[in-house]
Structure 1
């Protein structure tokens, strides 16, 4: 006989486990951090931005390079780069008139790799 998993997931009794609530309340992540995390996830919810992150994991690149790689206009790429910069996912350095973009730190690659692993499972 098949068991309806949705029905079994429901709690039929109203009992508050005060000890669990207190422990969890003390260990919950601060609201400001959660707000900033949500902003990062929102920026990463765009496939084009994920492609840019993926490309920058492999090499530092300028806007022209990214534009050619993704087959998009430079203004469109610049728009995406701005969002990625504002959430500190990428950074840039100037070399004369050219700005070269790279990941802000190693955590970005770890997040990307972890998500790829999760999706493949």
Structure 2
């Protein structure tokens, strides 16, 4: 049986089979999501743009730690910044990342709570 070149996709997804470049890029994204503090920051930012102080307060981490994580996320191209006076606001780069973060946490919630999986 030949390997499937594509799977049925949800609206807005690409149908192309992944090549080595796309697999490497996806692996880098998952590596950024593999840290609990970064994942929490991305979840918070998915709710709306925020500055470092607000994020540090909401995720119970130091401003220094939050700043370092945000720098990694920015360098990885996962978050964008907007400056307003002395404040820098962070937002997610795109909807794909938002959906990925929300789905990962929804999946975790199902596993922890014992709720039945669904499509």
TM-score class, shorter-chain normalisation, is 0.7 to 0.9
- SS of the residue corresponding to residue 100 of structure 1 reads strand
RMSD over aligned Cα atoms: 1.8
Aligned position for 1:80: 69
Bigger radius of gyration, 1 or 2? 1
Structure 2: segments with no counterpart, 5+ residues? 6-15, 111-116
Inter-partner Cα distance in structure 1 for 2:53 and 2:77: 21
Runs of 4+ in 1 over 6 A off after TM superposition: none
Aligned position for 2:88: 99
- The reply on whether 1:55 has 2:55 as its aligned counterpart is no
Contact 2:79 2:93 in 1 (8 A): yes
Contact 2:43 2:102 in 1 (8 A): no
- TM-score using structure 2 length: 0.74
Q: CA deviation at 1:60?
A: 1.2
Higher helix share: 1
Structure 1: segments with no counterpart, 5+ residues? 1-16
- TM-score using structure 1 length: 0.73
Aligned length: 100
